[in-house]
Amino acid sequence: MKLSVIVVNHNMCNKLRQALFTLNRACRDIDYELIVVDDASSDKSVAMLGNEFPQAKLIVNQHHAGVAKARNQGIEEAKGEYVLLVNADTISGKKTVEHVLEFMDAHNDAGGVGVRMLSPRGKFISESRTGFSRAWGGLLKLTGLAKHFPKSRLYKNDDDWVEDEEFATTEVDVINGAFMLLRRSVVNHVGDFDERFVKFGHDIDLSFRIRLAGYKNYYFPKTYILSFNTRLRSKFTWSYIRHFYGAMIIFAAKYLLHMPEIKIPAIPQMFAPKYEIER
């Protein structure tokens, strides 16, 4: 099997229906399986899935596990050569999945790839390329971990800057978790998502471990998804603050005490790595 598509849902019935419809359309000519992990929804999501997407393999959690654990549940069941993790509040283009699979097949050094994300109004979402928000960038600079994320250009004097960053295919530090296509063999090598990152940061941590293992992460803008970014609507709640900033603390504690070297074959570790950029 070529591809396993994994979608985690929590009370997003209408958006989930939309996401799955566009994913099924995008995978029409691909040998794939669809796995949906419902993370203890209290709306009509489970009933909708049974009625409208009977072909999907459904995992229903009785208690809220969080995105990282729910995604790991899906990965455990996945049989595809590639694993595609997609948020339930996204819309995929007709050729999006086909194009990213072609990219991964052509780049054997790639551990994973993300795509250009647009808002429902068509505005470019910069996090689709950087992989994280300004708050995370501030944490990395404050702790000194920024030097391990050279492609994110957290320092203005980076001479490898790409002006037209939205449309340049390039290696990146972090793949945004809203749409992550991962090579299954690489996930088997580096391990699943760290479940301590309940809602946020699990994509950053896994992307970093992919690079530590010597693989590359890519940003591929020659296709796109629309992201509703539903989580931002509740960013001032206590739950959001606790999980978002708690993830930063976990990440800093995990890597500050012991920072392993990034394995880049044939390149001395004392030099900053150079990255491939395509037009």
Q: What is the pLDDT of residues 43-53, one digit of tens each?
A: 999 999 999 99
Q: What is the pLDDT of residues 153-178, one digit of tens each?
A: 554 544 444 446 789 999 998 899 99
The pLDDT score that the predictor gives to residue 230 is: 62
pLDDT tier at 91, thresholds 50, 70, 90: very high
The pLDDT score that the predictor gives to residue 161 is: 42
What is the average pLDDT value for the chain, to the nearest integer?
83
The pLDDT score that the predictor gives to residue 210 is: 95
What whole-number distance in Å separates Cα of residue 92 and Cα of residue 110? Answer: 22
pLDDT tier at 265, thresholds 50, 70, 90: very low
The pLDDT score that the predictor gives to residue 233 is: 52
User: Going by C-beta distance under 8 Å and a sequence separation of 6 or more, which residues neighbour residue 193?
Assistant: 68, 69, 71, 72, 75, 202, 203, 205, 206
What whole-number distance in Å separates Cα of residue 205 and Cα of residue 160? Answer: 24
pLDDT tier at 274, thresholds 50, 70, 90: very low
The pLDDT score that the predictor gives to residue 28 is: 95
Q: For residue 58, give the H/E element and its range.
A: strand 57-61
> Which range has the worst mean pLDDT, 117-121, 137-141, 207-211?
137-141
Domains, the chain, in order of start with CATH, read: 3-278 (3.90.550.10)
Polymer length of the chain: 279
The pLDDT score that the predictor gives to residue 185 is: 97
Question: Torsion-angle region of residue 252: left (phi > 0), alpha (psi -120 to 50) or beta?
Answer: alpha
> Which range has the worst mean pLDDT, 17-21, 94-98, 158-162, 166-170?
158-162
- Enumerate the β-bridge partners of residue 226: 91, 118
Contact present, 42 and 70 (Cβ < 8 Å): no
The pLDDT score that the predictor gives to residue 163 is: 47
pLDDT tier at 138, thresholds 50, 70, 90: low
45: phi then psi, degrees, rounded to nearest 5: -60, -50
